[in-house]
Amino acid sequence: MGGQAHDTPVRMDDHPEASAVLAVHDQFWQSYARRDLDARFAVCADDITFIGTGQYERAGNKAEYRAMNEKGMEQFPAPFTIEPVWTRVRVMGDMAWTEGDTLWVQEHGDLTTRDLIRLTTILNKRHGRWVVVHVHGSEPDYRLQEGEYMTNARIVARNKELEGQVAERTRQLNLEKQRSEDLLLNILPEQVAEELKNSGRAKARLFNNVSVLFTDFMDFTKAGERLSPAELVAELN
């Protein structure tokens, strides 16, 4: 991930320092994804500030920011992927900033999450080198559709309706799940049914004492010839 090639759209100022700014930006973010904090904070100013997507994600200097990152690594130590969706680089004198959308792809056991995170990274050229002085991360407000920029009563009503639809669909899915489980329990022992639900298969078992019932219906073949499928099932029931 370090030195990631940008095959996604990158817009840069026509400025001789733009490529150097982008390189520091990439080191800062991709080393974080690799969980390499030494490489990340090697390009940070001591007075860096940070505002993240979490309610309590704020830092006022490098020590606070690094301590926050170290705590995050304890909670999620595995490397992950930060995929740029688009990136814009601007340079103005000894100040520069990058902004863009990114996808943070994380593996949580069998589950893969892909979160869209918007990032703004501000850099300052000090003693001949670019360092990161401020970072801001945010998540898009999915309540707003294209062309909507402020929440209003109509948007609130629309989202309440969508929440109701989600709740109803969840209720229906739970009912279908319960019906499926009841059907399994009608034809299989509970232990076997649980195995099938959890792994999709059940192990063969040896039982020393079993009873086997064979049964037949008198004139079933003739009945099947003269009755429709629906009538036959109704008769059996």
- Any residues with CB less than 8 A from the CB of 185 and at least 6 apart, and which? 193
Q: What is the DSSP letter of 144?
A: S
pLDDT per position as a tens digit, 96-140: 999 999 999 999 998 999 999 999 999 999 999 999 999 999 999
* pLDDT over 90 percentage in the chain: 59
Confirm if 26 and 18 have CB atoms less than 8 A apart: no
Of the candidates 144, 148, 150, 176, which has an alpha carbon nearest to the alpha carbon of residue 162? 144
Amino acid at 167: A
Please give the pLDDT value at position 2.
Answer: 38
pLDDT at residue 5 above 70? Answer: no
Confirm if 98 and 10 have CB atoms less than 8 A apart: no
- Any residues with CB less than 8 A from the CB of 235 and at least 6 apart, and which? 223, 227
Domain ranges of the chain: 10-138, 142-187
Please give the pLDDT value at position 3.
Answer: 40
Please give the pLDDT value at position 216.
Answer: 78
The answer to which of 90-94, 168-172, 211-215 has the lowest mean pLDDT is: 211-215
pLDDT at residue 92 above 90? Answer: yes
CA distance 108 to 117: 18
Confirm if 118 and 137 have CB atoms less than 8 A apart: yes
CA distance 82 to 114: 10
Q: What is the CATH number of domain 10-138?
A: 3.10.450.50
DSSP assignment of 43-92 equals TEEEEEEEE-SSTT-EESSHHHHHHHHHHHHHH--S--EEEEEEEEEEEE
pLDDT band of residue 37 (cuts 50, 70, 90) is very high
Query: Among all chains, which residue has been given the structure tokens 């974080």?
Result: 32
Confirm if 24 and 92 have CB atoms less than 8 A apart: no
What's the whole-number average pLDDT of the chain?
90
